[in-house]
Amino acid sequence: IQRRGRDRLSGLRFIHTHLAGEALSEDDLTDLALLRLDLVAALRLAPDGAVKTIHSAHLKPENISATPWEILAPQSIFDLKEDFLEYMGALEEEFARTQRPVDDNDRRERAVLIHVSTYPQTFARDSLDELSELAHSAGINVVHTIIQRRKLDPRYILGRGKLQAAVIAAMQKGAGMLVFDLNITPSQIRSLGDFTDLKILDRTQVILDIFAQRAVTREGKLQVELAQLRYLLPFLSIRQQALSRLTGGIGGRGPGETRLEEDRRRARDRIAKLEREVELLGKRRRLRRHTRTQREVPTVAVIGYTNAGKSTLLNHLTNSEVMAKDCLFATLNPVSRRLRFPREREIVITDTVGFIHNLPPDLFAAFRTTFEELQEADLLLHIIDAGSVDLNRKMETVLDTVRQLDLKQKPMLTVFNKIDTCAPEEVEGLVHQYGGVPICALNHETFDPLLDAMERLLWPATTIEPLTS
C-alpha cells in the first residue's frame, strides 16, 4: 500500500500474513528500517484461519532511543480507527524537528566507522578518532561511529546483530559505506558482501586512498600503485560481487576496476614491473645522496607522526613553500632544502613521510626506498605535536618505526612543536620528562634554541656560541 512519501519515509506500507501466528519477526523490523517503510504489519491468524489481531511497527526519530523503530501493541483488526495518513503526517513532522540538518553542498561520501576490539574504551576511542581523521583526509564525511568491545567475529568482524544495527544506521543517515578500524581478510569481505550492498573499506584502504590523492611525483604514484596491488592481490580470488564492495573505494582512485579484474598472474607481473621501476628510482636517489656525502654537507631528516608539523617547520626554517596542510600525510616523498648556519656552514634538511600507528605493511614495503633517505642522515629531528591528546602513543609509534628501520644508532633531537596550543607549564613538563627543544613552527622567534642544539649535534668538536636573535 503506497502513500506519497516525503524525504524520510518511503510512503509504502508492508502488510503481510504470518501463517504460524507469530508476531513481527527480526526480518520484518530490518526491512522496515532498511527500506524506510511507513509501517510494517503482520496479520496474525487464529487456529480457525480467521484474522483477528494485527502486529505493527514504524520508524521513529533516531535521537529518541537506540532502537530505530517502535513496536505498537497488538490490536484487533476491528479496533483500527486511527487516521493513518494523519498519524504518518505527525510522524514526518517529528522527524523534521529532531533530524539534524544536512549540508546539501557536501558532496563527500558518507560513512559509518566501526571499531571492534577487547582493548579499553579509551584506546578504542582514540583509535576511532584517528580513523575519523584519516577518513576526513580521504574526503569521507563521517556520520556515525560504532564501538563494540568483544573478540573479533571471524566471519563478520562484529556480532551479526551489531552489524545489522550498523547497516541500519548507515541507511538512516544516508551513508554508502562501512569503514572498519582494522584490516579485513578476503573471507570477511565475502561474508560482508553477502550481508550488505554497502561499500566496505578497512583502515589500510583509507590510508592507501589518501596516498593516492597526495602522490604527485612519478615515484610517489608508482609506490602507491605498488602498495595498492600488493594489498589487493589476495582478494582477486573472491567473486567479483564481493570484490566490487571492496574496490568501490572513495571515488575510484587508484589502479582502477579494469586492472583489478586482471587475473592473479597479470597482477603479479605488474607488481614485479613496478618493483623494478621503484628500485631504479631508489638507485638514482642513492646516487644523489652519495654526491651530497662527498661534498661533506651534513643531512638532517625531519621525522615524526603524521600531521605533527614537519613540513611547516621545513618551510619556515628554509623559506620554502613545500605543501603543508593541517591534514594527515600532506607529504609523501622526501623534500630536501638547504639551510645555512653562521660561520659559512650549511646543511641539507629533508622532510619525510609521516609515520602512523599500524602503518600498512604493503605501504611500508613500497616506500622502502623513500625511508632509505633516513639511513644517510647525520641527525634525526623527531617532531612531536605537544598538544596531542595521545602524545605518548604517537611518540612510541615513531620510535618503534625508527627501530624497525634500524636507525637507533642515529643521533636524534626531540622537538616539541605547536607549543602555542599548550599551557607553559605543560610544555615545561614535557621538556623535563623527555628532554628536547620546544618550538612553534609558525614563530621564527622560537627557533634559536633549536638551531643551537642542531649545530652542537652536527659539529660537536667545534666550540659554538649560543645563537642570538
With a cut of 60, say whether residue 176 has pLDDT above it.
Answer: yes
β-bridge partners, 51: 45
Residue where one domain finishes, among candidates 294, 311, 343 = 294
Whether 408 maps to a domain, the answer reads: yes
Residue 1 within a domain: no
Highest mean pLDDT among 6-10, 191-195, 216-220, 459-463: 191-195
**273 secondary structure, DSSP code:** H
Q: How far is Cα 59 from Cα 68, in angstroms, rounded to an integer? A: 6
3-state secondary structure of 323: coil
Residues 230 and 276 occupy one common structural domain:
yes
Domain end point (choices 68, 98, 128): 98
- Digit-coded pLDDT (tens) for 223-277: 889 999 999 888 876 655 555 555 555 445 555 555 455 567 888 899 999 999 9
Percent of the chain with pLDDT over 70: 83
Q: What CATH number is attached to the domain comprising 220?
A: 3.40.50.11060
In a domain, 391, yes or no: yes
**pLDDT at residue 344 above 80?**
no
Both 260 and 142 in a single domain?
yes
Split at pLDDT 50, 70, 90, the class of 431 is very high
CA angle 167, 170, 176 (to 5 degrees): 105
**Residue 220 sits in the same domain as residue 90:** no
Write down the pLDDT at residue 30: 80
Q: Is residue 463 part of a domain?
A: no
Tens digit of each residue's pLDDT (9 = 90 or more) over 187-229: 999 999 888 888 999 999 999 999 888 888 888 889 889 999 9
Q: Quick: pLDDT tens for 391-402.
A: 999 999 999 999
Q: How high is the pLDDT of residue 309?
A: 92
| CATH number of the domain where residue 392 is located | 3.40.50.300
More confident residue, 55 or 258: 55
Which DSSP helix (H) or strand (E) runs through 351?
strand 345-351
Give the pLDDT of residue 433.
Answer: 95
Same domain, 189 and 308: no
**pLDDT over 80 (residue 102):** no
> Based on the structure, what is the number of domains in the chain?
3
CA distances, 447 to each of 158, 307, 468 (Å) = 49, 19, 10
Residue 22 forms part of a structural domain: yes
Cell representation of residue 458: 652536527
Picking from 273, 294, 315, the residue at the C-terminal end of a domain is: 294
**Domain match, 92 and 127 both:** no
| Judgement on whether residues 351 and 431 belong to the same structural domain of the protein | yes
Domain co-membership, 373 together with 405: yes
Domain identity same for 347 and 385? yes
3 located within any domain: no
Average pLDDT, the chain: 83
* Count of beta carbons in the 10 Å neighbourhood of residue 106: 9
Higher pLDDT, residue 143 or 335? 143
Does one domain contain both 146 and 236? yes
Q: Which one has a higher pLDDT value, 355 or 31? A: 355
DSSP string for residues in 24-62: --HHHHHHHHHTT-SEEEEEEEPTTS-EEEEEEEEE--T
Whole-number pLDDT of residue 78: 78
Q: Is there a single domain that holds both residue 158 and residue 285?
A: yes
- Whether 467 maps to a domain, the answer reads no
Which residues constitute the domain of residue 77? 13-98
Say whether both 120 and 268 belong to one domain.
Answer: yes
Residue 188 near residue 157 (C-beta atoms within 8 A): yes
CA of 191: how far to CAs of 116, 158, 169, 228, in Å?
A: 17, 12, 19, 22
Cell numbers representing residue 182 in the block: 582494522
> Quick check: is 260 in a domain?
yes
Name 373's Cβ contacts closer than 8 Å, sequence gap at least 6: 285, 289, 301, 334, 350, 352
Residue ranges of alpha helices (H) inside 81-156 are 84-98, 121-137
Q: What is the pLDDT of residue 64?
A: 47
- Quick one: pLDDT at residue 216? 80
* DSSP strands (E only) in 133-281: 140-149, 177-180, 199-202
Helix then strand then coil, % of the chain, to nearest 5: 45, 20, 35
C-alpha torsion angle, residues 303, 119, 127, 419 (rounded to 10):
-60
Closest C-alpha to 44, from 70, 16, 78, 69: 16
Count CB neighbours of 207 within 10 A: 25
> How high is the pLDDT of residue 45?
80
pLDDT at residue 411, rounded to an integer = 95
Residue 310 vs residue 46, higher pLDDT = 310
One domain, residues 289 and 302 = no
pLDDT, tens only, 405-415: 899 899 999 99
Does the pLDDT of residue 82 top 80, yes or no? no
* pLDDT band, very low/low/confident/very high, at 6 (cuts 50, 70, 90): very low
Judged by average pLDDT, the poorest of 255-264, 336-345, 365-374 is 255-264
pLDDT for res 240: 55
Query: Is 60 exceeded by the pLDDT of residue 63?
Result: no
- Reported as a pLDDT band with limits 50, 70 and 90, residue 173 is confident
Tell me the average pLDDT across 337-363. Answer: 87
